[in-house]
Amino acid sequence: MASVLVVEDDPIIRTSLIQSLSTCGHLVRSAPDGFGALREITQSPPDAVVLDLGLPDIDGADALRMIRGLSRVPVLVATARDDDLEIIRLLNAGADDYLVKPFSGGQLAARLEAVLRRCLPAAAGAPQAQGGGGGLPGSGGSSPMVIGELRIDPLARVVQLAGQDVQLTRREFDLLAFLAEHTGQVVSRQRILSEVWRRAYLDEQTVDVHLSCLRRKLGENAAQPRFLHTVRGVGVKLVCPA
Ligand code: CA
């Protein structure tokens, strides 16, 4: 199962893409335009993007370039134009593959699987069975972790600060749980990307964006950290506040 972002403005096509990808077992989100897509990719990076080129707000090729400025997520472009030059231009602009409309759900699923296999050799689908540092945080049946006033229950996926629930996104939770499993150790952003996101190629800023959301939810900021400390030039560590 992969998390797939469908970017398509036509509601009928969008619904049909979502249905056929969901049927294949993927977790599908959608955006109706280019800026919506960029927002989704920044907030919660998907495993792959299916990008329509005829979008209402930005030209699809420009959207593709903007996505590439943010991330190396595999992008499958859906184009109405069956034009060699156009397709070559898109592949050069960073598309991983393309589909010419109209295409069947089966064709989409097969292209997507191929792109995921090529781009995410260790991810997409297989349960993370390794123990220790290899598995996703919280996947190993660990017991709750208590760090000062912070309590993280990996099984229930609940975080409490001073007895109050803290609402986190899936990624924020995974990031916090991972840092908590390494309390007191500085962890590099690269390691966080490869172990929490399982995408070592993502921009390290992705980690910073999520860290800053986490800090806000934990009532702290980078200038006055309590739990989440940035060690300049090295990485991040979670500590028990004195
Ligand atoms: Ca369109």
CA-angle at 128, arms to 96 and 107, nearest 5°: 35
Q: Encoding tokens for residue 194?
A: 């490869």
Give the domain 145-238 fold. Answer: Arc Repressor Mutant, subunit A (1.10.10)
Confirm whether pTM is higher than 0.75.
Answer: no
CA of 36 to the centre of ligand 1 (A): 14
**What pLDDT shows up at residue 140?**
39
CA of 88 to the centre of ligand 1 (A): 20
CA of 52 to the centre of ligand 1 (A): 6
CA of 99 to the centre of ligand 1 (A): 13
pLDDT tens for each residue of 132-179? 333 343 333 467 888 889 999 988 889 999 999 999 988 899 999 999
C-beta contacts of 163-170 below 8 A and 24+ residues apart:
166/217, 166/218, 167/217, 168/214, 168/217, 169/43, 169/44, 169/213, 170/44
Residue ranges matching CATH 1.10.10.10 in the chain = 145-238
Residue ranges matching CATH 3.40.50.2300 in the chain = 3-119
* Residue numbers in the chain where pLDDT is lower than 70: 119-142
**What pLDDT shows up at residue 105?**
86
**What pLDDT shows up at residue 154?**
85
Give the domain 3-119 fold. Answer: Rossmann fold (3.40.50)
How far CA 81 is from CA of 32, 88, 101, 102, 198, in Å, comes to 20, 12, 8, 10, 34
